[in-house]
Structure 1
């Protein structure tokens, strides 16, 4: 029978004391533990190499993955804008996982394509971390997902005001890194959006790069005004941070879409600008972002996961957008506590990301939960 993972968390202000605190919580370390997950807030970013070496030396666990975040999370708790670290130790079958270092461009990934395999078979799934400074991350996410048997990866983009670093057996940066798993490691994963549609789907009938010119053959700004209502239409600046554009993903239901910011409007030509290149003939919805919408969608996602579980998860990794957490849910750790309320108490670690990865896309304003079962 597979054993639960081991969890530790500490918000002690000195890195060495926090690392010692985590090691104490992880004792006794099982002899079978062979992969660690490590997330530290960016106030510890400059000591990440020291923290990683300390954790490896004092646990005996050889392989580690993780990232830096402005905030990190553990079971039922979030630590945002404070010195904190979280660690989790997992046990996996021999040869069922492999940590891989930074892949920084498509050519490098293509050259390594044959290396995304375990025991001679393509890897089944990967958990990854990315560097926000690399403009090729969306393309790398899609290309890496295509190397998996399931076509599926999950992960998060490092958020940091200081060093932008990830962990992949050593401290790395510059692209995508992480760990791939074989089919011998069963997982369940779901995505929750932080927004809800406020109008119908619209067909993009004319666009130029990131500019929406017409929707359903009507001026885009007129359609936006119609969907958001008279009050917000009077002053679009009031809608900043509340109203977003959501590009539908072909073949998915209405709960799976790419949420992007509104970045401007031309009231003379009635054009709307968004923070994403608009593909030809795309479908788009306007959405609102609020606590009620985020809570309802997350509850629905967690209920779906609970219905598919036969036993409590052994462990989990959660990636949440920096725009979520207390600033969206209203109270500290409410987002993490909701996971525990619906799925029960089990080891969980993760961080607040600058973009979240699910399947083969880079999202924003979402939460991505991966359960090891």
Structure 2
């Protein structure tokens, strides 16, 4: 998606690690530098500090004078070229944006009424091209809520699912007069069409074998593909070396579910859950239906790096000016477990776009357009 900020627009980003939230916030603010005139803050906490989210937001609002804050918790957070993964810490980005170019909305759990109540008038006046959203993974209908928000508000979504072993804070301070930190749904910030942005997604996988058809299924179990036992087709597509020892496919091979109507040949990547060598079926982490297209994908460091660079090169061709700021959301299964270093993706972004202010987090699922993804990276540039 592609939609120059005025010369007065600016971004600052920084991160800091620490087990004590007060000193960690101070250290981060010291690195952030002056924020006078900034009117929107992005706050990402690693889950080690998630329980202190309300206190941290309250302190930040008081010290910086920035009333509006959005964010959530992740297993890791990032700022500029640094990433903190699986250690207590936080990342902050402060932005000075044109007045009326953004509007926060509170946590949505059952429908869009809170959005209409807090931002309905603003939407009627300005409309929205993009929304940065944070999703509580405990919500029973995450995918449905994300889809309805995109379609009913007419907005392209980017963001991710909170990743935490403790609390799941949804930060939308300034959306209304209530608690600035909640949980249980989807919250975020809407950006007006006059705020130019560019966003893109990297899958981190490559298809192996052709796109096939599920010809028999039961919930998330694929019984037959192209009229043959699913496992026979699976072994054929992954090749004889992996087929000889199926224990090798865990974490390496996934199912790809092509998205109907996509003009970019997009697909959802889902884990393999179980394989039954006797019955010949495979089970994946998504409900499938008979007649649905399916393919298999390979995921490794080289493939993910190549697709990341492909995405960045494509985005670079669409972006004529140096970005003024960025938000990057990466899957927790990427980061150091895939690339070997927590900041590997940030290094690739900086190689392409230079030393731009950036913040983001490692999520338990990613949001792009109107759906949830896994194993992906979603980059959003403010131009």
Give the match for residue 246 of structure 2: 236
Give the match for residue 170 of structure 2: 166
Q: Deviations over 1:152-184 (max 9, x none)?
A: 101110000111112110111000000011111
Is the 1:123–1:147 contact (alpha carbons within 8 Å) kept by the matching residues of 2?
no
Helix, strand or coil for the counterpart of 1:5?
A: strand
1:50 to 48, 55, 68: 55
Is the 1:189–1:369 contact (alpha carbons within 8 Å) kept by the matching residues of 2?
yes
Q: Deviations over 1:285-326 (max 9, x none)?
A: 101110001000000000111111121111111110000011
1:180 to 163, 168, 190: 190
CA distance in 2, matches of 1:113, 1:205: 43
| Offset at residue 266 of structure 1 (A) | 2.5
Give the match for residue 125 of structure 2: 120
Give the match for residue 368 of structure 1: 378
CA distance in 2, matches of 1:4, 1:110: 33
| Offset at residue 112 of structure 1 (A) | 4.8
The within-5 A match list for 1:41-120 is 41-105=46-110, 108-109=111-112, 112=115, 115-116=119-120, 117-120=122-125
Q: Deviations over 1:310-368 (max 9, x none)?
A: 21111111110000011101234111111101111101001000000000110000000
Whether 1:24 aligns to 2:30 is yes
Is the 1:75–1:337 contact (alpha carbons within 8 Å) kept by the matching residues of 2?
no
| Offset at residue 255 of structure 1 (A) | 5.4
Is the 1:97–1:118 contact (alpha carbons within 8 Å) kept by the matching residues of 2?
no
Q: Structure 1: 5+ residue runs without aligned partners?
A: none
Helix, strand or coil for the counterpart of 1:251?
A: coil
TM-score by length of 2: 0.92
TM-score by length of 1: 0.94
Helix, strand or coil for the counterpart of 1:349?
A: strand
2:41 to 36, 44, 56: 36
Whether 1:154 aligns to 2:121 is no
Helix, strand or coil for the counterpart of 1:199?
A: strand
| Offset at residue 281 of structure 1 (A) | 2.3
CA distance in 2, matches of 1:289, 1:88: 31
Instruction: Return 291-300 or 276-285, whichever deviates more.
Output: 276-285
CA distance in 1, matches of 2:281, 2:349: 40
CA distance in 1, matches of 2:198, 2:370: 16
Give the match for residue 250 of structure 1: 260
Is the 1:122–1:147 contact (alpha carbons within 8 Å) kept by the matching residues of 2?
no
| Offset at residue 238 of structure 1 (A) | 2.1
Q: Structure 2: 5+ residue runs without aligned partners?
A: 1-6, 174-179
Give the match for residue 222 of structure 1: 232
Is the 2:207–2:295 contact (alpha carbons within 8 Å) kept by the matching residues of 1?
yes
CA RMSD of aligned residues (A): 1.7
CA distance in 1, matches of 2:355, 2:42: 18
CA distance in 2, matches of 1:78, 1:206: 44
| Offset at residue 118 of structure 1 (A) | 2.5
Q: Deviations over 1:93-121 (max 9, x none)?
A: 2222111111112xx22675574553534
Give the match for residue 274 of structure 1: 284
